[in-house]
Amino acid sequence: MKILVITDLYPIKDDEKCTPRTIYDFVQEWKKSGHEVKVIKPNFILNSFLRRKPFYKSGIYGDIENINYWLPFIGKIKNKIKSNLEADIVIAHMPSGLIFANKLGLNFCAGVHVSDLEVLRNPVYKIYFRTELEKAYQNAQKIACRSFVLKDKFLKLYSEYAPKTFVAPSGIQFKPVKRTWNPTEKIKVLTCGQLIKRKNIDKVIHACEGFENIELTVIGSGEEEKYLKKIAGKPHPLTPSLKGRGNSSEISDKIYPFLKGRGNSSEISDKIYPSLKERGNSFETPDKIYPFLKGRGNSLETPDKIYPSLKGRGNSFETPDKIYPSLKGRGEVVFMGHLSHEEVLKKMSESDIFILPSVNETFGMVYLEAMAEGCITVCTKGDGIDGIIKDSENGFLTEVDKVEETIQRILDYKDKNAILENTYNTVLAFNERDLAEQYLQSITFCT
């Protein structure tokens, strides 16, 4: 069968790190099944630059024709196309692809992504793009939503299209691994994705701070990398009761109950040092207590004579493992940077829990891959792969601001092996070859 795919969400070169490969993966499976597939990649140049997409000159790159347009597909757009448009099935993805296919007057299936909903809801696109996109949905023979969540959201806007709307999820390329819950000394938590704001990886970092038996690994690169490393490197509170109070040297009520109600200052109770009675609230250190401090002033310097292990560490409030062994490793977050797909899968196979509280996900292949590698997997409630992951059944759903609570729920859950068994059975049904074929079977029209 001849298939024509029209989308600007398609990699021309293999080394495009930031171009999702989900549509590419469908195309590869269709080719393996003996179908003849061509791809037309229509680019509205301004949109491409705003989205920081790789730029290529107009031309044919193997089975892909890249066509650049200065105007958003206005006028005689067909004149620039060199490829033969004859096909048994035309599948368009992303707003540009849908508008382009509709302008050409083709019978096509419209793929719905998060980007489509953004165009439909954002007033910025109201004048032209929303109108053209709505025309495309009206004329499309079928509408393929990339996830169950997207289908629900789309049909809330356009319920009249329910009869021609179906879900076209992605699948995995490899056989899933059947694992049992058997962490080593530390529970290994993994998060992976572009280091951008909507991925909410900072929420994962902060959530893991409260568990001394957890080791967090972050895979990915992006504009938030410097910020994430900064927050991961901050000193941690001395006790759980200080959580959320910052990095100051506050004294917990749990440590010194008699200080309760005295605020967060570094006041020293007369009950601790009677010799300080009536000396005020400053942090003065009398010579009677530490004769060797004579002449050192009121600073909070920590001399080597008190803590030899602090020698050379300056005046910061760093807490060495020698003083508080229980804090060892608590602040450690391992950043791996960008890894190849094979390296990511290997790291998943070595991890116990995968967490990514991302928002505005179209689908989220990374969750499915983590499940296939035997991780207890956590996604955002009402987003992405929700509907495939069912809370406390084959994984866990979380609110963006409740990641720590979700981790605690996982740790407290008695039968984690039942979760992993259900995870394994779930991903068995998400084979890439089968889902690619189901996609075609759901399109029952011809040009």
Same topology between domain 2-171+434-441 and domain 187-233+331-430 = yes
Confidence at residue 207, expressed as pLDDT on a 0 to 100 scale:
95
φ, ψ at 204 (rounded to 5°): -70, -45
Angle at 31 between CA 26 and CA 35, to 5 degrees: 110
CA-CA distance, 206 to 13, in Å (whole number)?
A: 36
pLDDT of residue 422: 97
CATH 3.40.50.2000 fits domain 187-233+331-430: yes
Q: What is the pLDDT of residue 241?
A: 36
CB atoms within 10 A of CB 97: 27
Which residue in the block uniquely carries the two structure tokens 């997207």?
Answer: 150
Instruction: Provide mean pLDDT across the span 13-21.
Output: 82
Secondary structure letter of residue 63 according to DSSP: T
Contact 117, 150 (CB under 8 A): yes
The yes-or-no verdict on residue 214 having pLDDT over 70 is yes
pLDDT at 289: 42
For 116-120, 131-135, 318-322, 395-399, which range has the lowest pLDDT when averaged over its residues? 318-322
Residue whose pair of structure tokens reads 């347009």 in the numeric block: 69
Nearest to 55 by CA among 71, 40, 66, 39: 66
Contact assessment for residue 357 and residue 204, using Cβ atoms and an 8 Å cutoff: yes
Q: What pLDDT, on a 0 to 100 scale, did the predictor assign at position 234?
A: 61
pLDDT of residue 96: 93
- For residues 114-135, one letter each, b for 16 or more C-beta atoms within 10 angstroms of the residue's C-beta and e for the rest, the string is bbbbebbeeeebeeebbebbee
Residues 6+ apart with CB under 8 A from 256: 269, 272
Output the CA–CA distances (angstroms, integers) from residue 353 to 180, 334, 363, in the order listed: 12, 15, 19
The whole-chain average pLDDT of the chain stands at 82
The predicted-structure confidence for 309-350, as pLDDT tens digits, reads as follows: 444 433 333 333 333 333 444 447 999 999 999 999 999 999
- The pLDDT of residue 308 is above 70: no
Residue 185 has pLDDT above 90, yes or no: no
pLDDT higher than 80, residue 351: yes
Mean pLDDT of 393-406: 97
**pLDDT for position 231:** 92
Residues 31-64 have pLDDT tens digits of 999 999 999 999 988 877 777 778 899 999 999 9
> Among candidates 93, 99, 127, which has minimal Cα distance to 111?
93
User: Which of 12-16, 304-308, 371-375 tops mean pLDDT?
Assistant: 371-375
| pLDDT at residue 173, rounded to an integer | 87
Which residues lie across from 44 on neighbouring strands? 69
Across the range 147-162, mean pLDDT stands at: 96
Q: How far apart are CA 373 and CA 375, in angstroms?
A: 6
Distance CA 167, CA 172 (A): 16
Question: Does 433 have pLDDT greater than 90?
Answer: yes
Strand order across the 376-380 sheet: 333-337, 214-219, 187-192, 353-355, 376-380, 396-398
- pLDDT at residue 429 above 90? yes
Per-residue pLDDT tens for 231-273? 997 644 433 333 443 443 333 344 444 444 444 444 434 444 4
Q: Give the tens place of pLDDT for each residue, 270-293.
A: 444 444 444 444 444 444 444 444
Under 8 Å between Cβ of 323 and 331 = no
User: Which residues, including other chains, have CB under 8 Å from residue 151's CB and lie 6 or more apart?
Assistant: 112, 145, 165, 166, 167
Options 3.40.50.2000, 3.40.50.150, 3.40.50.360, 3.20.20.140; CATH for 2-171+434-441 is 3.40.50.2000
What's the pTM value of the predicted model, to 2 decimals? 0.75
Is residue 214 left, alpha or beta, with left meaning phi > 0 and alpha meaning psi from -120 to 50?
beta
Domain boundaries, the chain: 2-171+434-441, 187-233+331-430
